[in-house]
Structure 1
Amino acid sequence: MLSAVEGVLFSVAATEAVLGILGNTFIALVNCMEWAKNKRLSMTDFLLTGLATSRIFIIWVITLDAYTKLFYPTMHVSRRLSESITYMWMTVNHLTVWFATSLSIFYFLKIANFSHYAFRWLKRRTDKVFVFLIGCLLITWLITFSLVVKVMKDDKIKYGNRTWKTYWKKREFTSNYILVNIGVISLFAMTLAACFLLIISLWRHRRQMQSHVSEFRDLNTAAHVKAMKVMISFIILFILYFIGISIEIICFFIPENKLLFIFGLTTASMYPSWHAFIQILTNSQLKQAFVRVLWGIKFSGEGRPNLREL
């Protein structure tokens, strides 16, 4: 049973999971409907749809893992379930981080403005950048998958069918964890680099616009400030996601500390849930669709609203 504090914190994590699934499902549906309507999907919308879809699955995986660990601990230590969750987690986590990385890089190439020849070269070759990112995804996933299979196989040979978690040493576990996540860590570093460079570019452009007094300058400056806030919030949530996952991994060695594990779950769930609504509120197309849905719910019992008034 959970204590009162643990129960409240778990309720917060469950609420985040539900909101995250709803928000990301909304993003995916809006983009899919737009694609069906216009028979085309831009690269940005494709990456947004892929990111939203992968985050739905990541929420399900981390919630399933947490639920079994907290309420069915004997089931959680079974080798078959642990292997299944590990393989699902590895695949979905790679996709989630890759879509976030690709989206950050494309925003960087589309919005940022640097005079360096390398940036101009990349800006003219976004298609090749996308092919390069796909190659990174496949290579890192294949390397990670082969390493995970090897670790699982060696563990079976060494310890047979006994409860495998009992035999892990901290040093062995830490080295294996870092090794199998080297691809995700590399993608994470690329994401942070692209976001920081974009923030620097936006900040420099904002400083330049402040020297020109005009109504256009005020609107442009406000737009750049808004973009910087969005990118900073994304970086913070993305870092919190990795911190939360790391806390859950640390709890591998202290399974009796449920409060710390639930805190890690709550922290990790912030990114896939909160960032979905940040994207909805900062994307004009998603925001308009979201407003129409809210008005439709509000007037569902009073008749159909006039959408032209929205």
Structure 2
Amino acid sequence: MNVVAVIVHWGAVEPTIKLARQLDEISLISCVIAVANDGKPRPPSFDRASWIIPDANRGFGGGFMAGYEAVPEADIYLLLNNDVRLTESTVRECLDVFADPRVGIVGPTQVNADGIHTGCGRLTPVASVPKKRRIPSTEIDDVDWINGAIMFVRGDCLRRVPMPVKYFLGYEDTDYCYRVRAAGWRVVVSPAQAWHSGGGTLPGAGFAYYLARNRLWFARSHRSASTVALTAAWLTLAVAPHAAVQETVSKQSHRRFRMILHGIRDGLAAQPRSDELMPNEPRPRLWDSWTSAGT
């Protein structure tokens, strides 16, 4: 079985180097590709893994597709953040699930220092918010979505249903799982566990923009018109004011509040095609410093 691991890289190179070396020691993985969305040159100590530098930041889904395009005939693709750790036994257990030809996506049970991470779950019926699953699975379970931080995808499934690019950051994994399920494949979580610290490279204020915009885009793609209206109202009347109050109380500038408003505006505007990005991505840098929050 030809298994290609794709690390979507952004930020400090050390976590990506560490993960690539760990993956290289797992006999079940055929090759490792890191896609440097931040344009960083290949580290001298990157060993046998490939280092791809796209012509621009393609976002999370676009970065994964760049890795796929480099090796388009693999049997299984393993999509990864660089803040994860997994063992050979976890990889083996997840790959074994593909013995069922109906399975398109598999995710391990993700854990961190607080216990079960947001590795899989379902969505709330009204506001399209991912509902976290805090109870570990004891068997293979079908779920609405798998967190793209660690996602195994059948090659035939990816070739028939490409990962969406338009979201840039956030909701592309959720949207993808919905599209895969609509195409007749199963999306499942395995009880095999993997570590995911989570959130290490996300710029706070900028990410608030993407959560608002992409939540609306997802609702418009997969929900009813009434759900879209409720989602927009919830973001406008609850989420944005809550951010404003928090920032006022803590005597911060209203960066997050402004980003949410920009996200609502773009979320209700014309969407790009699934395989396209909006102009000027990452768009939060149009209104603020994209890297000011630690990326």
TM-score, normalization by structure 1: 0.26
Structure with more helix by fraction: 1
TM-score, normalization by structure 2: 0.27
**Structure (1 or 2) with the larger CA radius of gyration:** 1
Structure with more strand by fraction: 2
